[in-house]
């Protein structure tokens, strides 16, 4: 089968294809909501509707397999930070299906709360949009710390942009690792790799998903917060790189940098 080719200019390109009219996240954005009715409704939607629908969709359509879910049991009764490579819109389904009964909070771009009519639903399902003001950022960080203390799984995709079915790992900075570094919190890395379909689903061209969870990674004693952020970043990056470099990681879409094509001509 001839592979689809996507040409990119930089690692900041985004190929999600959502075409959302992104709205500004104001300084007074409700990053948390302690209204009992709102929280109860959110829990019902998350556990009774969201997780079962997500499980059915990922198993039947995407052929999801998750390796080493036991990593979350090793962490014990505490919150955790979850970092993965960003290769699908469906990435939002992996953490809840991996983290057991822990509620997941998803650090995301403003796009997630920019679609009219579903903002409250998205927030109830765990979206936490990144603000673009200093005051808003301070409240955002406070929300992350609050959710961590509530023993949630806080999900971050440090590559930021979606590259569908990409089989490598794009560069990312240590900025988003400052949260677990400060909180001395455990971290897990989650690598999404792809496998060619066989058997009854072999007629589906798009490959099936496998998500591989790392064992818990902890900040090191004696390091500053900045040093620990860099340490955690490197440990996560190395794990993602190791897993996505597997020979059986099936390349469905080939990504070629535009200037590399120009150099050949």
| CA atoms of 137 and 61, how far apart (whole Å) | 37
Please give the pLDDT value at position 200.
Answer: 78
Residues contacting 155, CB < 8 A, separation 6+: 82, 84, 92, 95, 104, 105, 106, 107, 126
- CATH number for the domain harbouring residue 237: 3.40.1130
Mean pLDDT, range 204-219, rounded to an integer = 95
Asked if the model's pLDDT at residue 129 lies above 50, the reply is yes
Mean pLDDT, range 44-67, rounded to an integer = 92
Q: Does an H or E element contain 107, and which?
A: strand 104-108
Residue 148, domain extent: 4-264
Mean pLDDT, range 9-26, rounded to an integer = 79
Residue 192, helix vs strand vs coil: strand
The total number of structural domains that make up the chain: 1
Asked if the model's pLDDT at residue 52 lies above 50, the reply is yes
Asked if the model's pLDDT at residue 116 lies above 80, the reply is no
| CA atoms of 245 and 222, how far apart (whole Å) | 32
**Mean of pLDDT over the chain:** 90
Please give the pLDDT value at position 265.
Answer: 35
Asked if the model's pLDDT at residue 109 lies above 90, the reply is no
| CA atoms of 154 and 121, how far apart (whole Å) | 18
The residue with greater pLDDT, 264 or 33, is 33
Burial 58-67 (b: 16+ CB within 10 A, else e): beeebbbeee
Contact (Cβ atoms closer than 8 angstroms) between residue 255 and residue 6: yes
What are the pLDDT digits (tens) for 64-86? 999 999 999 999 899 999 999 99
What are the pLDDT digits (tens) for 156-175? 999 989 999 999 999 999 99
pTM, 2 dp = 0.92
At residue 20 the predicted structure's pLDDT band, cuts being 50, 70 and 90, is low
Dihedral Cα 98, 31, 112, 152, nearest 10 deg: 0
């Amino acid at each position: 089968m001839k592979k689809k080719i996507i040409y990119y200019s930089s690692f900041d390109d985004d190929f999600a294809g959502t075409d959302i009219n992104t709205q500004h996240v104001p300084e007074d954005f409700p990053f948390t909501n302690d209204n009992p009715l709102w929280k109860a409704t959110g829990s019902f939607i998350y556990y009774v509707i969201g997780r079962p629908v997500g499980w059915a969709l990922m198993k039947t359509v995407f052929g999801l397999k998750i390796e080493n879910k036991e990593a979350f049991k090793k962490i014990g009764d505490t919150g955790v930070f979850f970092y993965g490579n960003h290769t699908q819109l469906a990435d939002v389904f992996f953490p809840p299906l991996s983290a057991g009964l822990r509620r997941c909070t998803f650090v995301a771009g403003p796009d997630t709360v920019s679609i009219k009519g579903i903002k409250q639903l998205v927030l109830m399902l765990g979206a936490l949009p990144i603000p673009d003001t200093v005051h808003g950022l301070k409240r955002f960080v406070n929300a992350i710390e609050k959710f961590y203390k509530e023993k949630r799984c806080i999900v971050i995709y440090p590559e930021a942009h979606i590259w569908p079915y990409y089989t490598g790992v794009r560069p990312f900075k240590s900025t988003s690792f400052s949260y677990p570094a400060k909180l001395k919190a455990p971290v897990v890395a989650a690598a999404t790799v792809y496998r060619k379909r066989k058997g009854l689903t072999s007629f589906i061209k798009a490959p099936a998903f496998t998500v591989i969870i790392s064992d818990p990674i902890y900040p090191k004693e004696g390091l500053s917060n900045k040093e620990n952020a860099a340490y955690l970043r490197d440990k996560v990056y190395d794990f993602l790189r190791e897993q996505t470099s597997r020979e059986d990681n099936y390349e469905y879409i080939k990504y070629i940098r535009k200037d590399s094509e120009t150099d050949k001509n």
